[in-house]
Structure 1
């Protein structure tokens, strides 16, 4: 093959040499290039994890990993209810690319490293690792997140924990359903939602009848079962013991029973979802399925809430990871393409958009890492109180901001962004799931109200957190005063008025939390720009409407 010089035309072969297109964004260090994340990891006490995070950043930025992320979303999971002879199989087939992705995430502890090695900063380091992997391929993050979160619901029940937690802590990944006696690792999913109940889990009709001891026999149907290829699941069911109604219990349902026998776990069909295509979500049926109670019978909601708190945190982390992918792709494109005689990144209007997207990402990322810090081993009572409120507050707002952030970044790429050859079309479809999973907007906003009315300490802890930056910004101080006044009023209002204002309160609390974190952990220039753009008198409704005088170019350069 003859090599042609740049721009040379060849009659009958090629019309022109393509110029003014950035090269593919592959073989990059996603951690090394993300200075705000590296600074935050250190600031929140996990600087010891820097070498491992750099290794993970290089891996997820490699051409091979990005290719697997693409293939896992093109070749989506397939359910096999029966084998060729008509016997129940109930397995989900994934493309090998998906197994490679999740295997790498598990090998680096994105699932349970914080539990397995609970040293200071472990939850922050695990959160950063989780974000690096979710930035490039988000679908696999669902079972990774659930396995991490399930530990909190399992650890107090030794009849399950003694056998299953060592397997959940393993950094091996084995996708096959094998007898428990021969499989040393495990992923854990959950099946909560029923078609007639949705977010109202108490409206479920799945039942569990005591078999003696901790075992129950389950009958029912679940409308959404996340990651049905997992080795075990947390399931809510109304349990009875003899003629006694115990109430709603949380049951641990393994796919395999002793001696290689398969538990009854009938996969009816996979959901055809807007996004999250690489990850299967299924409708499943239980018919004499064996499960083991976690915690106390009849206290299932309380037991599962320990898991839900952590999966909600991962919704924040996953959304922030998506924001980073969107921002990184937009920056890459605009730094490699010219228009009207200058690079796009240097065009003032584009610089403002990119800077605003960067501010949004950093505030979301800081929210996620601060929450992760509140879950560290040895957390104080004040930390626990703060996370009870700050988790739903952040989940509500950060996840709401995700889809619009992805769209605005997609637009930075122009027509390329709207095609499946670039990752932002996939990201645009992906971001809404974080706002829906583990409680959509109204459910989360009402949980914020519930936390405040049932637990006065959470409101006090939140006020203390905001008080740490009191006096640093008159704009923020005024916003905090208004927000705390609204909080006080709504906790004494009738239920209808309080619920009507629940979204406003959640948004105001989240913005105050983010602004305070920016003041503590971001450069003052960036923090002041964020506060002015989100809380100031001349704030805009769209990305790129920054206050006059903002040094947008400096903000962009840092990212």
Structure 2
């Protein structure tokens, strides 16, 4: 090379220094102390080897890349084929299908139904928590398929045909009739334009045809995962001039004879987050449907599905918190500023410990409700699950957006860039808080459950009493909560505050029972002994923040 062809010394402006390399190749389960302890404490110890295996799978670089691809290449809707036939087809990036295949092959949609037993829901929740850290959007059809099983069982004839395919460990994304497939996914469509969460205001109608089927006419304003093979939907039964009431139906995309069911997608939603998951607006133009449960009892038929999807919202938001924490801790352990590694800066330690502490409470509560699901033959567990899914869904999901933001801030400017996962975590964070009943709906549901079954709050307090006497601050919080419930004045107005305190005292109790004194002390000192609301990173002095940060360190194995 001649001197004239030699690169100029100015061609290289700088070296890239003090930047954290991507975090890949780590075991998501092995590096998560809070999760491992919660699994052991709640009866999932038998699944330890499988969870260790799956933690390694979910940390692989190629799996993480699939999560990025599924979000970068959004679903595309095609209403008609190239010659004009109506097809209502949504096309996804191959990475989306690969993640779906992984989830369903691991039984995240079915394991507790096909292999029930002690700790089945705990093990499934832990595994789903690991899986959801790859990418949140495709979890929607996984969750809906899982949650549909109790409702579909209400129609034994349908259950005999559909459930073996719904619970099969396989994934078939092909656009063809359910009769030709060995593995099926299920969605749900409840929300309409005029009603929102008030599903009793639904205007879609279902006319019985006399052969056990119904013809459904109407619309759904939100129907996620429109490529599912069938959907649980609510519609008003019409019998001449005598309304049959709001009822639940299984509506397939294809009729049994192989013709297309007129369940027509109008468009896909352009969402701020959850973009890998197609959410659609649909119209039903005489769509075939089968009744689930009894006529006029649609809410009762679908309520178990709703409760289960709310529980999965708890799992998903806890998972988002975990991924945010591990990214924050990892980044700050790799980057230096003002002469110290970020993670060694006292104020950053306060922030990181507080982020981990939030996650500790979320995991503890989620896994306790999973344990309740494993023991619904016991009245106490049944009552705890009924309130716990509403309280947990409200609190954990509502805390996650701010938690995601604070973790994003730990990465500085990099945190808001789309090829850093924290930006996606932040965009996805509000979804679980809004879907399946937003904050007000959950808080009012708690009051409604207590009014309908007064013994339910007694069971809640019985659970909390198990930690009474361990810490005076906890005891005082328990007394305050009981006093709040004894005051019935403007109780709906105060509903959010009540549920806030229910969540915090339950999390404190569970962390006390968990046995790690550093975690329990920090939680009680910062959450139960506080003068009021505060931002993340305002933990009081004297806490063992080093232990908290170490528990969240993804590389501390």
Do both proteins adopt the same fold according to a TM-score greater than 0.5, normalized to the shorter chain? yes
Shift of 1:17: 2.4
In structure 2, what is the Cα distance between the partners aligned to 1:422 and 1:505? 37
> 4+ residue runs of structure 1 moved beyond 3 angstroms?
241-244, 537-540
In structure 2, what is the Cα distance between the partners aligned to 1:307 and 1:10? 66
In structure 2, what is the Cα distance between the partners aligned to 1:395 and 1:47? 25
In structure 1, what is the Cα distance between the partners aligned to 2:550 and 2:532? 22
Segments of 5+ residues of structure 1 without an aligned counterpart are: 1-8
Q: Does residue 65 in structure 1 map to residue 58 in structure 2?
A: no
In structure 1, what is the Cα distance between the partners aligned to 2:12 and 2:47? 50
Q: Does residue 270 in structure 1 map to residue 268 in structure 2?
A: yes
Q: Deviations over 1:456-486 (max 9, x none)?
A: 1210110111011111111111111111121
Find the partner of 1:24 among 22, 25, 32.
22
Q: Does residue 367 in structure 1 map to residue 365 in structure 2?
A: yes
Which residue in 2 is equivalent to 1:4?
none
Shift of 1:538: 5.4
Q: Does residue 457 in structure 1 map to residue 446 in structure 2?
A: no
Segments of 5+ residues of structure 2 without an aligned counterpart are: 1-6, 553-557
In structure 2, what is the Cα distance between the partners aligned to 1:69 and 1:85? 34
SS in 2 for 1:258: coil
Q: Deviations over 1:510-535 (max 9, x none)?
A: 11111111111151111110111011
In structure 1, what is the Cα distance between the partners aligned to 2:548 and 2:28? 18
SS in 2 for 1:251: strand
Shift of 1:389: 1.2
C-alpha spacing 1:349/1:540, structure 2 compared with 1 (3 Å): farther
Q: Does residue 526 in structure 1 map to residue 524 in structure 2?
A: no
Which residue in 1 is equivalent to 2:465?
467
Q: Deviations over 1:190-240 (max 9, x none)?
A: 000000011110111000000124311100010000111101100000013
2:154–2:301 contact (8 Å) kept in structure 1: no
Q: Does residue 503 in structure 1 map to residue 496 in structure 2?
A: yes
SS in 2 for 1:257: coil
Q: TM-score, normalised by structure 2?
A: 0.96
1:358–1:555 contact (8 Å) kept in structure 2: yes
Larger relative contact order (CA 8 Å, sep ≥ 6): 2
In structure 2, what is the Cα distance between the partners aligned to 1:282 and 1:480? 44
In structure 1, what is the Cα distance between the partners aligned to 2:160 and 2:341? 59
Q: Does residue 487 in structure 1 map to residue 480 in structure 2?
A: no
Which residue in 1 is equivalent to 2:549?
556
Q: TM-score, normalised by structure 1?
A: 0.95
Which residue in 1 is equivalent to 2:555?
none
In structure 2, what is the Cα distance between the partners aligned to 1:110 and 1:366? 20
Find the partner of 2:76 among 74, 78, 82.
78
1:539–1:546 contact (8 Å) kept in structure 2: no
Q: Does residue 35 in structure 1 map to residue 41 in structure 2?
A: no
SS in 1 for 2:244: strand
In structure 2, what is the Cα distance between the partners aligned to 1:130 and 1:106? 11
SS in 2 for 1:136: coil
SS in 2 for 1:33: coil
Greater shift in the superposed pair: 105-114 or 200-209: 105-114
Aligned-pair RMSD on alpha carbons?
A: 1.4
In structure 1, what is the Cα distance between the partners aligned to 2:364 and 2:546? 21
C-alpha spacing 1:165/1:10, structure 2 compared with 1 (3 Å): farther
Q: Deviations over 1:169-208 (max 9, x none)?
A: 1111111122323211111100000000111101110000
Q: How does 1:426-465 map to 2 (within 5 A)?
A: 426-465=424-463
1:56–1:108 contact (8 Å) kept in structure 2: no
Shift of 1:258: 1.6
Shift of 1:377: 5.3
In structure 1, what is the Cα distance between the partners aligned to 2:530 and 2:266? 54
Q: Deviations over 1:333-372 (max 9, x none)?
A: 0111111121111111001100000010011011111111
Q: Does residue 161 in structure 1 map to residue 154 in structure 2?
A: no
Q: How does 1:318-337 map to 2 (within 5 A)?
A: 318-337=316-335
Shift of 1:265: 1.1
Which residue in 1 is equivalent to 2:206?
208
